[in-house]
Structure 1
Amino acid sequence: MRVGVIIPVLAPALWLEEAVRAVLGQDPAPERVVVVDDGSSPPLAVAGCEVVRRERAGGPAAARAGGLAALAGECELVALADADDVWHPGKLRAQLDALARHPDAVACFGAVRVVGPDGRPTAERWPQVAPGVHEAQALAPIVYERNPIATSTVVARAAAIAAAGGFESELAPAAEDLDLWLRMLAHGAAFAFEPAARIDYRRHPGGRSADLAALAQCLLAVHERHAGLVEPEVARRARAHDLVALARGRVRQRRYGEARAALREAATLAPPTPRERALAATLTLPGLRAALGRRPPHPTASTR
């Protein structure tokens, strides 16, 4: 089956060359690699790839939708990659083999090593599931609550993405991937997890995940849309987790009243953890809360 890769990017594209090199270096190589330039100024030129130009930035969901349109009717499989992530050698082959072994799976996702801007592994551990095929009913609550599906690991059947409606940007521009996985699961899709398909997922100050408050607001919207997929207790825990993340984001913005309000609501949904109680206590101490707001949003310590 023909494979098309979609890479959305907006300048400055600090790691795009590394990301593209890793994609083109796969064996077998994908039939098409489409880089969607999401309104960069000046326009980007990328050697070895097709470039689809968007004159006005619309975010990753709109960019990926443009990539899907460029591949329409030509590639049975769509692989997703972000411009700051890196595929490991053998990633694509492992997923093609997994999808051949499991024809009932509409998508395959892989394992993640979280790295910092310099490419060194951090202390963060990505959530993971057991290898093999996971049916929609069993996987949906896992994806809903702690999404183990990193976008840059996904290879999916183009028809399944289309059947679920593709990427939507209106609801949650920073959680469009989770929204799509949940819509696919709502259609009864089975996903395969292949741990031999690995990527480096890069955390950096310019990444979307660095804006904790914006990401938390998008996750709240996605979880509200799909709450009917899971048991009420799962929905409550996910909302509580999102509200704590929102509180941390508000602390970074020095909007302490909103941070306290988010923590109070979270505590009504799920018992606060010791760290969450410590965060609430810190918000009463001006010096400590200011220092907390300056901390990196994600673990940074190297594991090397």
Structure 2
Amino acid sequence: MPRVNIVIPAYNAEAFIAATVRSALDQTFPDLQVTVIDDGSKDATAAHAALNDARVRVISQENRGMSRSRNRGMSEVDSEFVALLDADDIWHPEKLRLQLEALQSRPDHDFCYTGFEVWHGEPRPEFAQQARSGRIDETLSGWIYPRLILDNHALPSSVVWRRSAWDSMGGFLTDNQQTDDWEYLVRASTQHRFLRLAEPFVLYRQHPVSLSRRIPATNTTELMRADLIRRFGMSAPPGHDVDPTALQSFQHRGWCNFADAHTAKGDLGLGLRTFAGLLGRGPYRGRTLTKFAKSLVRRYIPND
């Protein structure tokens, strides 16, 4: 049984999957297996993922979405540690070794995540060659619920954790791919300590976004944040408190950005109603009015 199993959900990822799997296989920590869940791809994802390497297992299923694919992958593996890797991201070769050393040094911590770099797919040969120390960022380690409820610092492709924690918590929710991984990590942070390695160990690929893509009609991030606060409160575990002012600011920013997107480029009525609600509730009315004015300018005087 390998000590670490890396679960990679993949859908129509033939252009990226081989490089992603290779970055997992090229880890300086060798005791690993890669489990690729081919989620009903219509291209050659499964064939490109295998790499003719015995350490890679490809499981094909009908299309079920990211969260169900992650849950399927976890149900198929049995190892001391598990890790996630998205099908188009890249790992630094020292990632697993340094994360496992950190977790071994602190047996009362169950999750380890790392810094990452946003990446647009350009060649980055120097990334794998740069040395890493494995320095722990203490400000984002320990009981991080008060920080994670504000901003999702833990990129899924950066996280390694003990299989025992997965077994005790259950899997990802499968309601919304935009928030399912954040919900899982926040839920984990109420029960388990986290470690963060300060240096970037992941190239997080960002794809060009079509300007014509429909703006979501529901603010899933802020609705999830409100639900998490309802479920876990302002102190989880007790004594580790969320900053109420910071929370209010993050919530306002999230709703303001949602209102701005619709007022400027989407459903004008929804944008106006959301801005009206923010102005009616307060606080930050000055900030809201400024954003509102800029939204109207962007709608009626487009700069393109």
Normalising by the smaller structure, the TM-score range is 0.7 to 0.9
Q: Which residue of 2 aligns with 1:163?
A: 168
**Can you give the 5+ residue segments of structure 1 that lack an aligned partner in the other structure?**
121-128, 295-304
**Greater Rg over alpha carbons, structure:** 2
Partner of 1:93: 97
Q: Provide the residue aligned with 1:53 in structure 2.
A: 60
Which residue of structure 2 aligns with residue 302 of structure 1? none
What is the 5 A alignment of 1:72-87?
74-87=78-91
Matched AA of 1:4: N
260-269 or 217-226, which deviates more: 260-269
Identity %: 23
Tell me whether 1:217 sits opposite 2:229 in the alignment: no
1:16 aligns with 2:29: no
Tell me the CA shift for residue 89 of structure 1. Answer: 2.0
Q: What secondary structure does 1:226 align onto? A: helix
How large is the Cα RMSD of the aligned pairs? 3.0
Among 167, 178, 184, the alignment partner of 1:180 is 184
User: Residues 219 and 42 (structure 1 numbering): CA distance in 2 closer, same or farther, change over 3 Å?
Assistant: same
Task: State the match for 2:152 in structure 1.
Answer: 147
Q: Deviations over 1:14-59 (max 9, x none)?
A: 322221111110011352101111111146222232111121x222
* TM-score when normalising by structure 1: 0.79
**Local SS of the residue matching 1:105:** coil
2:136 matches 1:135: no
> C-alpha distance in 2, partners of 1:218/1:108?
26
* Structure 1 position 205, deviation (Å): 2.7
**Does the aligned pair in 2 maintain the 1:243–1:265 contact within 8 Å?**
no
Determine if contact 1:106/1:160 at 8 Å carries over to the other structure.
Answer: yes
Show structure 2 runs of 5+ residues with no match.
125-135, 235-241
Deviation by residue 1:167-205 (Cα, 9 ceiling, x = unmatched): 1112x3211111011111222x10001124611111113
Per the alignment, in what secondary structure is the counterpart of residue 79 of structure 1?
strand
Q: Helix, strand or coil: the match of 1:41?
A: coil
Question: Alpha carbons of 1:164 and 1:212: their partners in 2 closer, same or farther (altered >3 Å)?
Answer: farther
Q: How much does 1:162 deviate? A: 2.6
Distance in 1, matches of 2:226 and 2:173, equals 15
Aligned residues: 274
Aligned partners of 1:211 and 1:145: how far apart in 2? 27
Equivalents in 2 of 1:219, 1:265: separation in Å? Answer: 17
Tell me whether 1:245 sits opposite 2:245 in the alignment. Answer: no
TM-score by length of 2: 0.79
SS of the residue 2:100 aligns to? helix
Contact 1:175–1:222 (8 Å) recurs in 2:
yes
Q: Hey, what's the Cα distance between the residues in 1 that align with 2:4 and 2:43?
A: 29
CA shift for structure 1 position 159:
1.5
Cα deviation, 1:221-243, whole Å, max 9, x if unaligned, reads: 32122114325545433332321
For residues 221-276 of structure 1, what are the alpha-carbon distances to aligned partners after superposition, in whole Å with 9 as ceiling and x for unaligned?
Answer: 321221143255454333323213323443575222222333343453542685x6
Matched with 2:72 is: 66
Q: What SS class does the counterpart of residue 110 from structure 2 fall into?
A: strand
Q: 1:29 to 1:186 in 2, by over 3 A?
A: same
Distance in 1 between the 2:123 and 2:233 partners? Answer: 37
Q: In structure 2, the residue corresponding to 1:283 is in which secondary structure?
A: helix
